[in-house]
């Protein structure tokens, strides 16, 4: 996205450090921000819940 702009920029100033480009990429941050808690907390937690066996007498 920001590639063409960056080229123009580079002619004028020194290049922007990689970590800054990463922090400026809000959509990439968005992806990790959703993925990390969903996997580490929610999905893992659900997997543990479904592994619990039902009580023998239980019928839904």
Q: Are the beta carbons of 16 and 6 closer than 8 angstroms?
A: yes
Using rule CB under 8 A, residue 46 touches other proteins: yes
On the CB side of 59, CA atoms within 13 Å amount to 1
Is residue 49 close enough to count as binding other proteins by CB under 8 A?
A: yes
Tokens (6 digits) for 49: 């819940």
Retrieve residue 12's tokens.
């004028």
53 interacts with other proteins by CB under 8 A: no
**Site of interaction with other proteins (CB under 8 A):** 2, 5-6, 9, 13-14, 16-17, 19-21, 23-24, 26, 29-30, 32-34, 36-38, 40-42, 44-46, 48-49, 52, 60
């Amino acid at each position: 996205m920001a590639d063409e702009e960056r080229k123009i920029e580079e002619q004028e100033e020194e290049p922007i450090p990689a970590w800054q480009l990463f922090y400026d990429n809000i959509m990439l941050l968005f992806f990790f921000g959703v993925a990390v808690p969903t996997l580490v907390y929610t999905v893992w937690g659900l997997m543990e819940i479904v592994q619990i066996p039902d009580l023998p007498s239980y019928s839904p």
